A and B are shown apart, each in its own frame.
Chain A
Amino acid sequence: MSVLSLDGITKSFGGNAILKGVSLEANPGEFIALVGPSGCGKSTLLRIVAGLDHADGGTITLAGRDLSGLAAADRNVAMVFQSYALYPHLTAAENISVPLAMRRLSSWQRLPGIGPLLPGQKEIRRGIRREVEAMASSLKINHLLDRKPGQMSGGQRQRVALARAMVRHPALFLMDEPLSNLDANLRVHARGEIVDLHRKSGVPALYVTHDQSEALSMADRVAVMIGGQLLQLATPQTIYDDPAHIEVARFIGQPRVNLLPAKAGSDGLVRFGDIVLSVAGLMPGNEVTIGIRPEFVHLGQIGGLAAVIERLEFQGSDVTAFARLAAIGETMVLKLSPAEARHLSNGQPVHLVMQPQKALVFAKDGKRLPAQAEMAQVAGAFHG
């Protein structure tokens, strides 16, 4: 079923392992976002799929064809670059036509001066021009066709770069942070456009970004890469609700997840404040980390964890509150509604109550452990 499959891709630069065996499969028409902090190897992976870098090990299959050993030009893969990488000496129309001209015209036919005199090239050129214009009108950039990249805005260049990638109907789209050079307003708008364009094309896309909100909002599935490893590949909802690894939980989510140290008791249960969790496969005394998203921590009247409000950040639809736990000195982050936060002020003592069924438990090596919430002994009063 999968159109693209990467299997055990490894790569190191000068003894430095950048990719430590990355495997993933993409279904037809699927939009996969590769997300991770800078230096996690996501751009390297993209360049390897494009054929711009060579993997040390592993195989890449695209539409049933093994790509290893094929030059970038022979892979039928299109790529959109962060800097757009438009040829500055060519007009938009010429830029868009490059992939077609390179494939359909011979080296002699492309030669200036001699090329236009050779037989047969006129018909080909006319065909290219037609396709370029059709592509331009579907992206609404007809009016830009005679302009050079230097005379265009960032957003316009980005559209021309997209048109150049799409014009030859590749088997796979690769996008390397294509929105990061746009200003914030345009970026949000361009997200929707890229998703729409991609859906029409019907081919899979790998989209590299370091922006988690881009990844979550655009992709069918999100691949979280950290330290050269693909830690999780799942739908945005699963990535957020069910992170497979502590690093995934830490990287995804804004404001970021609360991580608290805990220990399994003599009965094998993990306790933290009010919540009691039974975790499979834990020995008494094992150290774990409990993760809880800021929206699942609430203010209680009594009980819960005693804390002091350190700082409040107004975000419009909600308020981010930072509260220092009296017991262990860690700062917890809470996502509150403005109504809840109205009576809070810096330095105010509060009681924090966590939703036990939302707690995520991670083993010492970072792996997620399945956990079950036990009934709390002390009842906290919940809001919402």
Chain B
Amino acid sequence: MAEAAVSFPLTTAREGQRRAAAREARIAWLLAAPALVLITLFIILPVVAVVVLGFTDFELGYDEFRFVGFENYAELLSDRGFRISLWNTMVYAASVTPFSILIGLGVALLIEGETRGRAFFRTVYFLPVASLLVAMATVWQYMLHPSIGPVNMVLAFFGIAGPNWLGSSDTVIPSLALIGIWQSAGFNMVLFLAGLTAIPRELYAAAEVDGARSGLDRFRLVTWPMLGPTTLFVVVISVINSVKVFETVKTLTEGGPNKASEVLLFTIYQEGFVYLRVGYASAMTVIFLAILVVLMFLQYRVLDRQVHYS
């Protein structure tokens, strides 16, 4: 080996380098292959299938289908039910996102500031996230029951006639939003807690020495800006999760009363799995995905520059 290297030092070295690079590239592809295959199979292909199906009148059970162009989308525009469910989803997301974030942040700050019982409170607030929502929905149904529910009984004690929370079209979305907040505040809290522990203690010391007298001053000077990346992530996750609301609607209201609680995912489910209009449901899914992509894009493009400071 040594003799060969001496007699052909340049060519062998260059050849060896080239061969090593080629081998490395081959191994890289080999290692990436499982992930590539799985992503294609389970993410890219289904999305492509949905987009394609959205241009057809395919119905489950029928063998034949034909391409109908943008007919499904045209129908969506004039579909009052779809417009209601779009609006309901927006109202739901617009109420769940800010409140679940504020409550999550507030609870995280309280837990971070307290040394005793930290694990206990963290667990308690995280329970709604860990518990099965479908199972917990029955508890909520009982809680919000118009006549035997504890919520209305407490209200009655103060002489207030409580509404039929889940049965009236005025209160059904706020009631579902309340459940949504209850469920996601704990999740946001855990994310904020992680963000809080990453803030260097010396920054708080510096803020105190610099004259940040009150906790609010220190929150404004250190905590809030330093939580920026966490908050961005929490906002994105919260918006996506609230736009994806389905379980509570399906188990508690079935979209009722009179479509007052129909949300996007529930409408898609109805069209696709109840009426079996897969083509139409696919078109809705495309709209749904487009909304999510636009939201994520906006959040990352607009906010990302303001929360990373290097």
Contact = CB atoms under 8 A, between A and B. Distances in A.
A and B form one complex: yes
Interface of A: 47, 50-52, 71-74, 77-79, 81-83, 85-90, 98-99, 102-103, 107, 110, 148-151, 164
B216 A107 contact: yes
Nearest to A47: B205
Interface residues on B, range: 20 to 34
Given A88-B226, A89-B226, A79 B209 contact: yes
Question: Which has the most chain A C-beta neighbours within 10 Å: B205, B214, B221, B222?
Answer: B205
A148 B228 CA distance: 16
Contacts of A85: 200, 202-203, 205-206
B213 A148 contact: no
B75 interface: no
B211 A99 contact: yes
Contact of B202 (A81, A107, A110, A151): A81
A74 B309 contact: no
A1 B226 CA distance: 43
B304 interface: no
Interface string B285-310: 00000000000000000000000011
A41 B224 CA distance: 32
7 contacts: A51-B209, A52-B209, A73-B211, A87-B206, A98-B207, A107-B216, A150-B309
A83 B200 contact: yes
B309 A99 contact: no
A50 B211 contact: no
A81 B206 contact: yes
A160 to B, nearest CB: 12
B212 interface: yes
Interface in B226-245: 226, 228
B71 interface: no
A74 B213 contact: yes
Given A79-B205, A87-B203, A102 B310 contact: no
Given A83-B202, A88-B226, A164-B210, A150 B221 contact: no
A4 to B, nearest CB: 16
Interface of B: 200, 202-203, 205-214, 216-217, 220-222, 225-226, 228, 309-310
Given A74-B213, A99-B211, A102-B212, 11 more contacts: A73-B211, A78-B209, A85-B206, A87-B203, A87-B225, A89-B309, A102-B211, A110-B220, A148-B309, A150-B310, A151-B310
Given A52-B205, A79-B206, A85-B200, A148 B310 contact: yes
Given A71-B213, A107-B216, A52 B208 contact: yes
Contacts of B203: 85, 87
A246 to B, nearest CB: 35
Contacts of B206: 79, 81, 85-87
B226 A73 contact: no
A304 to B, nearest CB: 53
Given A83-B200, A85-B203, A107-B217, A73 B309 contact: no
Contacts of B225: 87-90
Nearest to B224: A89
A87 B206 CA distance: 9
B213 A89 contact: no
A315 B203 CA distance: 40
A88 B309 contact: yes
B310 A71 contact: no
Given A85-B202, A87-B221, A89-B226, A72 B310 contact: no
Question: Which has the most chain A C-beta neighbours within 10 Å: B203, B207, B210, B220?
Answer: B210
A98 B212 CA distance: 9
Nearest to A149: B309
A161 to B, nearest CB: 9
Contact of B208 (A51, A83, A89): A51
A73 B221 contact: no
Nearest to B212: A102
Q: Nearest 8 CB-CB pairs, A to B?
A: A102-B211, A150-B310, A85-B206, A72-B208, A89-B225, A85-B202, A73-B213, A88-B309
B113 to A, nearest CB: 16
B203 to A, nearest CB: 5
Given A71-B213, A73-B211, A107-B216, A89 B228 contact: yes
Nearest to B228: A89
B220 to A, nearest CB: 8
B209 A73 contact: yes
A66 B225 CA distance: 35
Nearest to B206: A85
Nearest to B216: A107
A107 B219 CA distance: 12
